[in-house]
Amino acid sequence: MDSYSIYRNPLTSRYASNEMLYNFSERKKFTTWRKLWLYLAKATKELGLAITEAQIQDLEAHVEDIDFKAAEEEERKTRHDVMAHVHVYAAQCPLAGPIIHLGATSCYVGDNTDLIVIRDGFDVLLPKIADSIYRLSKFAQEYRSLPTLGFTHLQAAQLTTVGKRACMWIQDLLMDEKAIREARWNMRFRGIKGTTGTQASFLQLFEGDHEKVKQLDSMVTKMAGFEKGFIICGQTYTRKLDIECINVLASFAASVHKICTDIRLLASRKELEEPFEKSQIGSSAMPYKRNPMRSERCCSLARYLMSLAANPLHTAANQWMERTLDDSANRRLTLAEAFLTADALVMTLQNIAGGIVVYPQVINRYIQQELPFMATENVIVAMVRAGGDRQECHERIRVLSQEAGNVVKQQGGENDLVTRIANCNYFQPIHSELSQLLDPSTFIGRAPEQVDQFIEEEVKPILARYPGLDSAVSVDLKV
């Protein structure tokens, strides 16, 4: 049966990067198991157990050359994945075979590998999130002063700027970067804890020497690249750690969904567009269409990732006493797919952020349709300065506004309030000021200055953690 005749997970075939796919691959998993057996052997030797340097070298020589077919056949016989790999590794390492997995339980390799893979998954994601922030910050700076309609309740509100709105997106991503970075650095290693977390088997190995058992745990933790380990475990590390890790990814997904929903709404108004390639087809039936397919993909994948956050909650809630195995199949799916989905999301976001196209004339047209109404207070103030009566001015401009509104809503015409004011003798004292009163740049408040301050004080310090960012580098998507 060829590969096209069996189901392929779209995360692997269409969306996620090769580096994240490798991180959750069988090769990464089982070579990490072998490295953990090697760490255990090295540490126990250093602490005085009868393990020879030749045995250590034997283990080191065969960390990478896994016989996957032999391991699969062994697992079919034993129905135990860890023991299958112990047997295959031992067959390759005749000298070291007798001391592989000494004192350990399956969770020594299983859980510790999961922790390594989660940590490394965060390390794949964080620079990409930073790059998305960098690309959007360049965009925000470029359009810091370009007025655009702000929206509340999806109704036209006061003006903001295109760059200021992008800073709202960036602010959410900064929170995600911080949460993911903290989740990564707060991770602890399970280490060597034994079958129920008491380290009893290792205490036997070291003939009751508690200090050596503590040293062993610390040494293996450091070898695996962790600063801290759990002091308390059952057979597994607490599954609440999985909750924390998946939650920060789900929160990131919510941010991307919000950003891409904004882009989709603005694209429908033709105010801006995501990148659109020369040969890209928007619709099979409507050749003129330029659908925001990348943003739609992000919203779709984000919805899936947000839904995955429920799984580790149920898993943690159902860990009976020291552990139960009903977490295993669920975690095989949830952990990998959460990171693969987050990876697909952030790469698509990078691609979008590096090529957003803005249409200032369209934006200005929408502004001109709404600005006359927004400017009525400015007109009243100007008339009062010129000696007019505020209440009379308010009534006259109310009447003209209603007439202009009827033209827009009932006749489908353009907003002609400014023309009506210009043709009304009552407003003659301020006719020369009308263009100034209706200048969109006078309605954006401190938006440009807020962009500058935000980039300088909040964005740049975070980006300094990630040298080598370059918004000109393209991010190619698989499809």
Whether 295 is catalytic = no
For residue 81, give both structure tokens: 């994945």
Of 283, 300, 307, 474, the active-site residue reads: 283
In the set 153, 268, 279, 432, the catalytic residue is: 153
Q: 426 with 380: CB under 8 angstroms?
A: no
Neighbour tally for 287: CB within 10 Å: 8
- How many helices (H) and strands (E) in the chain? 21, 4
Residue pointed to by tokens 């390492």: 93
Q: Is 334:312 a contact under the CB 8 Å cutoff? A: yes
Measuring CA to CA, which residue among 274, 344, 350, 352 is closest to residue 304?
344
**How far, rounded to the nearest angstrom, does the alpha carbon of residue 216 sit from its chain's CA centroid?**
36
Measure the CA–CA gap between 162 and 143, rounded to whole angstroms. 6
Q: Which amino acid is at 28?
A: K
In the annotation, is 283 catalytic? yes
Provide φ and ψ at 320, rounded to 5°: -75, 130
Q: Measured between alpha carbons, how far is 406 from 342 in angstroms, rounded to an integer? A: 49
Helical H segments across 154-292, by residue range: 162-185, 200-205, 210-223, 240-268
Q: DSSP character for 25?
A: S
Q: Distance between CA 7 and CA 29 in Å, rounded?
A: 22
Distance from C-alpha of 205 to C-alpha of 50, rounded to nearest angstrom: 10
Residues tagged active-site: 153, 283
